[in-house]
Amino acid sequence: MSMYTLTDREVKKHFEQVYPIYKDYPSYSRKNEQPKCLVCQSEARITWECECGVNEGIFDEDDPQLSERQQAWKERV
């Protein structure tokens, strides 16, 4: 069943069938907890790696070090 090919009547029927199932489910909320390692139980740290090095990349255009680091990169390569 594709929702794109249903008539209005079929959509209404489908909604009436699934609504009782989902009406009491809690709304989805994203947990902002860091994942824990199952081996050592410490919080996992995420690293970003690019040609600049591990955790050295700049991903924000408003970063105050951006132009300085871009210039240093041009001199290096």
What does the domain layout of the chain look like in residue ranges?
3-76
Q: What is the pLDDT of residue 3?
A: 65
Distances (CA, A) of 68 to 16, 57, 60: 60, 13, 14
In angstroms, the CA 71 to CA 54 distance is: 19
Reading the chain (77 residues) residue by residue, the pLDDT tens digits are 576 788 999 999 999 999 999 999 888 887 777 888 888 888 888 888 999 888 889 989 999 999 999 999 999 87
